[in-house]
Structure formats: structure tokens, C-alpha cells
């Protein structure tokens, strides 16, 4: 059976390559199915058959995946003699779908914090005013530092099959980012009863009250689909640092800023007074089980 395999081109702009290594850490049978279902035409660290010149001479690219932030400054950053903006320009016009892989491509991310290079931005910040000839779908942001490999695969497979997917106001697939990182966290019972983790390094307690966890206000499904098939940061004991949101990286990511003993930022969409009242009530119940070690 000859099947049409859509052409996938992955380019790297201003990046640490973390999204590439995230892809390479995906569930292997899923990755293999991806390689069988798509024509992975070019990736600067993986493919040998085609060069960037070959990509430039393509008439059409089905899926253009961009890893890394974009800048017009060539002094700080260039890929095969192109600044990253002109690299994007050369390829965006040929592409049917443009997918920003990771927070840097989506909005600049960590790299936009390099203030000496003032032009570091996300792909959409530059593309918004361009008239792209072949584009069939609004630009898609897969935020996350790094992106979860399953987000890339699900997005590509869904588009291949259905041609269009629903996006939220930040151009992210709703199916991935509708919920919060908090959903599915194994520490949720502690969150409900306002039992904080006594310190780092323990299985017991919620990381929201002291350790800076942003899971109740961060759109992501880390705790539903898990990382590397086995775990998530908050399950392991590391607070969520909100890496899928547009204010990442924030300041003081490993501690909770508080006001009269209550976190300054309360869970998304919850009225502060309501949260305060609920906390007061929950704390009056001293639940022994939740204050004991899980494994004695």
C-alpha cells in the first residue's frame, strides 16, 4: 500500500536543543509510528539525506516545525549564514502548517531574557503581519520548556487526519492545554485538605504552599499523560514552574510568595476570599492520615 507521507521539516533557531531531545525521549513505538507515517525530510541533528539547501529548494512543506526563538540579529545567531528571521521567512511561505515546538519558538521563552539581543521573540510575533501563501491553518504553539513529545505527535497525527484542530486564545491546541498541570497530580488530596509539604524531598504534602508549585494555574496535561511514560515533576517532588505559560520564566520559581500565610496567587479562576475561607475551614480538620508518612 502506498500511503501519502506528509513532509515534515524541523528547523532549529535560538535553542538549547531540549525539544529535540524531548522528541528523542518519546515513547518508542509512537516515535516509530511517526517515522513510518511521515516523511521526516530534514532535522539538523538527525537527518543526513537532505541539507538545508535541499529544504530551501522544496516547493512545499506540509509541516514546518520550529524549535527555538527568532531574531533578526545575525551577530548573535546565525544558521547556515542566515539570521533566524530570514531562515523563518524562507520557509514559512512554503508551509501548510507552522508548529512552534516549545516555549522559545512560541514566545521567546528563556532566550528572550537575553536583553542585550533585543529582538528575540516568538515565531508568531514576527509572522503575524506576513501574508503566507500556502498556509492552511493558524500557527500552532506547543508551549513548554521543553515541549512534551506526545504533544508534537498528537498534533501532527491529528492534523494529518483532520486537517484542523481547535486552538485556545494563545494559539495552543485546546485538547492539550484545556486543563491544568494540577489535574492528575498524586498530591491532590493534600491540596484539597491544605496539607503542605513539610520540606522538599518528601512524598507527602502539596508543593503549592511553600515550594512555589504553579500546577493549579498552569495549563498543561503533564500529570495526565506523564513524562517519559513514568512520572511528572510534581509527583516526584519538584514544583511545577509554569513552563507552558507565557510568563515563564518568572522570578522565585522555587518558593511560594505569600500574604498573611496564604499564597499570593491562588488557583486559577478561584475568588481569593473564597479560597481564604476554604483554607481556614480545611485547616481546622486535623486529618491524621494526611499528616503521617505514606510508608512507615
Partner 1 sequence: MKTVDIVERIEGEAKLVCSWKENKISDARIEFLNFRGFEYILQNKPILDSLVYTPRICGICGQAHLKATVEALENIYENVNEALVITNKAKLLREIGLNIEIIDSHIKWFYMFIMPDIAKLSNDIKYNKYEPLKGSLWLNASRVASETIKAIAIIGGQWPHTSYMIPGGVMSDPTLFDLTSMQNYLEQAIIFFENTLGGIDFEEYLAFSNMEDFLKTNGSLIDFKNIAFKNNLEKIGKAYDSHIVLGSSSLFESGKIKIKNISKIDSSKISESSINTFKVNISKKENEYTWSKTALYANEFYETGPLSRALISNRKFIKTIHKEYQDSVFTRVLARMDELAHLLYTTKKLISKVDTSEPSFIKPKYSLNDIETAIGSSFIEASRGSLSHKVEVSKGLIKTYDVITPTVWNLGPGIKDKYGVAQKAIVGLDSISKAEIVLRSFDICSVCTTH
Contacting residues toward partner 1, per CB under 8 A: 12, 14-22, 24-28, 31-32, 35, 40, 44-49, 51-52, 75-81, 110-111, 113-117, 145-146, 199-203, 222, 227-238, 241, 243, 249, 251-255, 295
Of 61 and 110, the one with the shorter C-beta distance to partner 1 is 110
Please identify, using beta-carbon distances, which residue of 26 and 95 lies nearer to partner 1: 26
Q: How far is the CB of 287 from partner 1 (least distance, A)?
A: 21
Long-range contacts for 244-247 (Cβ within 8 Å, ≥24 apart)? 244/103, 244/143, 244/144, 244/145, 244/172, 244/177, 244/181, 244/218, 244/219, 244/220, 245/143, 245/214, 245/217, 245/218, 245/219, 246/106, 246/107, 246/143, 246/170
Q: At its nearest, how many Å lie between partner 1 and the CB of residue 136? A: 26
Give the Cβ contact number of residue 87 at 10 Å: 23
Three cell numbers written together for 148: 512534551
Smallest gap from Cβ 258 to partner 1, in A, equals 15
Q: Is the peptide bond before 56 cis (omega within 30 degrees of 0)?
A: no
For partner 1, which is the closer residue by CB, 76 or 193?
76
145 in a labelled binding site: yes
**Is residue 100 a known part of a binding site?**
no
Tell me how far apart the alpha carbons of residues 148 and 10 are, in angstroms, rounded to a whole number: 16
To partner 1, the closest distance from the beta carbon of 241 in angstroms equals 6
Whether the bond between 146 and the residue before it is cis, its omega within 30 degrees of 0, is yes
Q: Which is nearer to partner 1, 143 or 232 (CB)?
A: 232
Q: Is 182 annotated as a binding residue?
A: yes
Q: How far is the CB of 106 from partner 1 (least distance, A)?
A: 15
Q: How far apart are CA 247 and CA 145, in angstroms?
A: 12
Q: Give strand pairing partners of 70.
A: 121
Detail the residues annotated as belonging to a binding site: 16, 104, 145, 182, 185, 206, 213, 222, 240, 243
Detail the residues annotated as belonging to a binding site for [4Fe-4S] cluster: 16, 104, 145, 182, 185, 206, 213
Amino acid at each position: 500500500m502506498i500511503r501519502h507521507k506528509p513532509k515534515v521539516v524541523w528547523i532549529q533557531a535560538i535553542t538549547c536543543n531540549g525539544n529535540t531531545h524531548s522528541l528523542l525521549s518519546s515513547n518508542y513505538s509512537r516515535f516509530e509510528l511517526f517515522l513510518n507515517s511521515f516523511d521526516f525530510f530534514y532535522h539538523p541533528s538527525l537527518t543526513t539525506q537532505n541539507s538545508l539547501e535541499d529544504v530551501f529548494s522544496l516547493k512545499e512543506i506540509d509541516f514546518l516545525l520550529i524549535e527555538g526563538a527568532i531574531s533578526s540579529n545575525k551577530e548573535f545567531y546565525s544558521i547556515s549564514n542566515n539570521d533566524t528571521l530570514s531562515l523563518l521567512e524562507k520557509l514559512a511561505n512554503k508551509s501548510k502548517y507552522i508548529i512552534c515546538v516549545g516555549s522559545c519558538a512560541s514566545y521567546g521563552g528563556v532566550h528572550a531574557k537575553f536583553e542585550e539581543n533585543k529582538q528575540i521573540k516568538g515565531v508568531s510575533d514576527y509572522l503575524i503581519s506576513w501574508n503566507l501563501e500556502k498556509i492552511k491553518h493558524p500557527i500552532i504553539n506547543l508551549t513548554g520548556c521543553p515541549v512534551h513529545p506526545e504533544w508534537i505527535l498528537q498534533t501532527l497525527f491529528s492534523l494529518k487526519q483532520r486537517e484542523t484542530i481547535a486552538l485556545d486564545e494563545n494559539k495552543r491546541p485546546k485538547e492539550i492545554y484545556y486543563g491544568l498541570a494540577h489535574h492528575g497530580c498524586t498530591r491532590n488530596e493534600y491540596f484539597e485538605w491544605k496539607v503542605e509539604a513539610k520540606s522538599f524531598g518528601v512524598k507527602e504534602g502539596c508543593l503549592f504552599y511553600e515550594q512555589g508549585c504553579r500546577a493549579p494555574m498552569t495549563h498543561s496535561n503533564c500529570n495526565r499523560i506523564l513524562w517519559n511514560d513514568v512520572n511528572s515533576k510534581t509527583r516526584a517532588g519538584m514544583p511545577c514552574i509554569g513552563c507552558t505559560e507565557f510568563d515563564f520564566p518568572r522570578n522565585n520559581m522555587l518558593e511560594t510568595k505569600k500574604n498573611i500565610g496564604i499564597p499570593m496567587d491562588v488557583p486559577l479562576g478561584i475568588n481569593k476570599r473564597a479560597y481564604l475561607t476554604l483554607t481556614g475551614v480545611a485547616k481546622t480538620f486535623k486529618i491524621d492520615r494526611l499528616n503521617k508518612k505514606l510508608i512507615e
